[in-house]
Amino acid sequence: MKLHFSPTSPYVRKVRVVAAEKGLDRKIELMSSSPWVENDLPKSNPSGRVPTLIADDGMALFDSRVIAEYLDEIGGGGKLFPAGAARWPALRTAALAEGILDAGVSIANERRKDKAHWSDWYIGRQKDKIGRTLDTLEREAGNLSGPVDIAQIGVGVALGYTGFRKHVDDWRKGHPKLAAWYEGFSQRPSMTSTEPKEPIA
Ligand SMILES: N[C@@H](CCC(=O)N[C@@H](CS)C(=O)NCC(=O)O)C(=O)O
């Protein structure tokens, strides 16, 4: 398999964490494909976004949620997407985490414009979304226990991203349960091996 990736994308990191948890990371060739320069990426994914996975049969898969479920299906070990009644709370928490990524990436994209065109109103709205979602995850931190799943991976990546980009002053402040949980989760090899080394978009 091949993964169109950018080392700076939190959606890519989510997929890479899933691959590592499923023992598939060595079966995926990383292809550097910045979505911000001209390249072949739109031939595989018309939205021109990373991550885009090219499966062994040539099928191009996107977005990160679909790729994550695909890898969960074909990889080894326990299921990251729970079945039955446990599926919906897990997907709900994963969607909360995704909201943090979407808001953070929206801020990063706004800041791609000339500074004179930045909208403080728009950036403020995105920061409010991140703050409210952190508060919700703190209230629901009890859902992050048990075997690793897509909810935990989503939240781990979202907290890593928020801390790295500093979209809010200090996400740990006011979120002690999340902070304590992240302390342990961020030490998983899947997380340490995918830690971003430069500002991420
Ligand atoms: N919902 C998509 C979002 C992917 C996404 O927005 N990726 C960003 C990089 S962080 C990108 O490729 N942006 C380029 C663009 O939007 O043109 C997913 O989960 O994969």
Domains and CATH numbers, the chain: 2-74 (3.40.30.10), 84-192 (1.20.1050.10)
- What's the mean pLDDT in 124-153? 97
* Residue 18 to residue 153: CA distance in whole angstroms: 7
Is residue 9 in contact with ligand 1, taking CB distance under 6 Å?
yes
Evaluate whether 6 touches 32 at the Cβ level (below 8 Å).
Answer: yes
Q: What's the Cα-to-Cα distance from 70 to each of 22, 73, 120, 162, rounded to whole Å?
A: 11, 5, 38, 26
50 CA distance to ligand 1 middle (Å): 5
Q: Are 177 and 141 in contact (CB under 8 A)?
A: yes
pTM equals: 0.96
151: left (phi over 0), alpha (psi -120 to 50) or beta: alpha
The per-residue pLDDT for range 60-115, each reduced to its tens digit, is: 999 999 999 999 999 999 999 999 999 999 999 999 999 999 999 999 999 999 99
Distance 158 CA to ligand 1 centre (A): 14
**Does ligand 1 come within 6 angstroms of the Cβ of 5?**
no
Using a 10 angstrom Cβ sphere, with 0-12 exposed, 13-18 middle and 19 or more buried, the burial of residue 199 is exposed
Q: Which two tokens stand for residue 188?
A: 């998983």
Bridge partners (DSSP) of residue 5 are: 32
